[in-house]
A and B are shown apart, each in its own frame.
Chain A
Amino acid sequence: EVQLVESGGGLVQPGRSLRLSCVASGFSFDDYGMHWVRQAPGKGLEWVSSINWNSGNIGYGDSVKGRFTISRDNAKNSLYLQMNSLRAEDTALYYCVKTYSGWSSASFDSWGQGTLVIVSS
């Protein structure tokens, strides 16, 4: 069974940093592209960042570009999101997500339970 377990969320002041982690199990982690997708309270889904299997292809949504950095450690079956210069509008539930069918397909078959990030003074 595929499992994605996020951690690292919490309450943080504007301008500070936070690092999210996601530990994967139940599949060959190093075979799949991985993503972070967020959902602000009561709002829709927003793509944050993607990384392919060997970290050779990385992308960011416009709202986080230059502030967030995605990375992965295949030896540890782990995905990370370093979030710097946090803003109130970054407040959201952050999901770790696994690619289902092809890198540029936007098909995601496994989602974690999410980790909540609240940016507030």
Chain B
Amino acid sequence: QSVLTQPPSASGTPGQTVTISCSGSSSNIGSKTVNWYQQLPETAPKLLIYNSAQRPSGVPDRFSGSKSGTSASLAISGLQSEDEADYYCAAWDDNLNGPLFGGGTRLTVL
């Protein structure tokens, strides 16, 4: 099964704003909502953004999501060292009849 397309890496300095992109197609992002997950080293993924732009309780408002057409983005403002992690986008895919994940983006805080 194919994956949603994310850049393999991203970086920023503390306090900066970093944006991670996620590209898909009409069968997934184009017709479904997008979710974003943060995976800290040696831990299970954590839901950061659901329904493309909503944050679950407890997720800081430094994290924001957006979607346009067949692409989505995760923005992290006021970058902190603890944001260093892998980030994955995910969307349901109508052809797969299941969720499709992005390949993941490793964020480094310089």
Contacts and interface: CB of A to CB of B under 8 A. Distances in A.
Contact of B101 (A47, A60, A111, A114): A47
Nearest to A108: B47
B68 interface: no
Interface in A36-62: 37, 44-47, 49-50, 59-62
A49 B99 CA distance: 9
- Tell me if B's interface is mostly helix, strand, loop or mixed: strand
Interface stretch (B13-21, B77-85, B90-98): B90-98
B102 A44 contact: yes
A106 B100 contact: yes
Nearest to B89: A106
Contacts of B51: 101, 105, 107
A1 interface: no
A108 B33 CA distance: 13
A63 interface: yes
Contacts of A27: none
A117 B98 CA distance: 22
Contact of B32 (A59, A106, A111): A106
Interface of B: 1, 3, 32-33, 35, 37, 39, 44-47, 50-51, 56, 86, 88, 90-92, 96-104
Interface of A: 35, 37, 44-47, 49-50, 59-63, 95, 100-101, 104-109, 111-114
A-B pairs, 10 with minimum CB distance: A106-B99, A111-B44, A107-B50, A44-B104, A106-B90, A104-B92, A45-B101, A59-B98, A106-B92, A107-B35
